[in-house]
Amino acid sequence: MKSVTQRARDLRRRFHVKPHAAVDLEALDPAETSHVGDKETAKAQTEEDALAIDALQDRLFAEGRRALLVILQGMDTSGKDGTTRAVFGRTGPLGVSVTSFKKPSEVELSHDFLWRVHKACPQRGTIGIFNRSQYEDVLIGRVRKLASREVIEHRYEQINAFEDMISSSTHIVKFMLHISKDEQKERLQSRLDNPDKNWKFDPSDVAERKLWDDYLRAYETMLQRCSTAIAPWYVIPADKKWARNAAVATIVRATLEEMDPQYPKVDFDPAAITID
């Protein structure tokens, strides 16, 4: 197996969105797997990375100075939940918080769009995972015209400024899980065919699916405008779950290794303390 550093370098070369670079999502094959090897290798590597992430999280928690925020975006059924489980399923529950952003409540709507996001940011020492995020406000917000074009245009800058603000204590990494329209069809169909999965199906998903191309354009604009040096976007091929999980796990692990959290020094002399 390649080292995590090598693997992360390869993945970043292929899937990192360079700041300001135009993105053509149709040119990126969602079924691509060559970056993670065969299925068996990828699964073993994901498990190894998940265990390493747990150990790194322990140090992050002990250090208590920085947080990691992982943002997951993607079309319906792209696997945001599954990725969370595969990558963070080995991390102690104490150090991980997952926030699923749904349709905003009345109270949330009565604030600026980043208010509920800020509240959910992870505290120092922990990993926060956003299942959907502030980016919904430039995705569904743009496609469904939930705000004027001027307001939407302004939001890209507001998001960048917001991420810059929280970056003083929080490291940020963002993944768009990129699936094909055909793969989505299969996944939606399996929710209909399997009675235990029916509850996951939302009839409104069919309506959103009809706007597929509009969403792709909104994602492309978002990626171009909001992949920054302090908060990079990655586009991860996600038709194959195992390839998707392996790529995200490697980048998260490499990010934590680069953060290199340290057990803190204490301000007392352990040898001088007696416990009666």
Q: Which of 25, 28, 31, 98 binds its own copies (CB under 8 A)?
A: 98
Give 24 or 106: the residue with its C-beta nearer to its own copies. 106
Half-sphere exposure of 177 (CA within 13 A, CB side): 31
Under the binding rule (CB under 8 A), the answer on residue 199 touching its own copies is yes
- Backbone phi and psi for residue 29, each to the nearest 5 degrees, phi listed first: -75, 115
Give 6 or 92: the residue with its C-beta nearer to its own copies. 92
> Contact 163/231 with Cβ under 8 angstroms?
yes
Which of 25-33, 188-196, 225-233, 251-259 is the region at the interface with its own copies (rule: CB under 8 A)? 188-196
Give 45 or 184: the residue with its C-beta nearer to its own copies. 184
CB of 90 to its own copies, least distance (A): 8
Distance CA 77, CA 200 (A): 9
> Contact 178/28 with Cβ under 8 angstroms?
yes
Give 1 or 94: the residue with its C-beta nearer to its own copies. 94
Distance CA 224, CA 61 (A): 33
Under the binding rule (CB under 8 A), the answer on residue 180 touching its own copies is no
Long-range contacts of 35-44 (CB under 8 A, 24+ apart): 35/10, 35/11, 35/237, 35/243, 35/247, 36/242, 36/243, 36/246, 36/247, 36/250, 39/240, 39/242, 41/1, 42/242, 42/243, 42/245, 42/246, 43/242, 43/245, 43/246
Residue with tokens 């208010």: 115
Which 1-60 positions form the footprint of its own copies (CB under 8 A)? Answer: none
CB of 274 to its own copies, least distance (A): 8
Under the binding rule (CB under 8 A), the answer on residue 176 touching its own copies is no
Q: Which of 67, 96, 152, 251 binds its own copies (CB under 8 A)?
A: 96
Which string of x and - marks every residue 138-167 that binds its own copies (by CB under 8 A)?
------------------------------
Under the binding rule (CB under 8 A), the answer on residue 119 touching its own copies is no
CB of 1 to its own copies, least distance (A): 25
Under the binding rule (CB under 8 A), the answer on residue 135 touching its own copies is no
Q: How many residues bind its own copies (CB under 8 A)?
A: 43
> Contact 62/263 with Cβ under 8 angstroms?
yes
Q: How many CB atoms lie within 10 A of CB 72?
A: 25
Under the binding rule (CB under 8 A), the answer on residue 190 touching its own copies is no
Under the binding rule (CB under 8 A), the answer on residue 85 touching its own copies is yes
Element (H, E) at 13: helix 4-15
> Contact 178/25 with Cβ under 8 angstroms?
yes
Binding site for its own copies (CB under 8 A): 62, 64, 81, 84-85, 88-94, 96-98, 100, 129, 131, 185, 188-189, 192-193, 195-196, 198-201, 203, 206, 209-210, 263-266, 268, 270-271, 273, 275-276
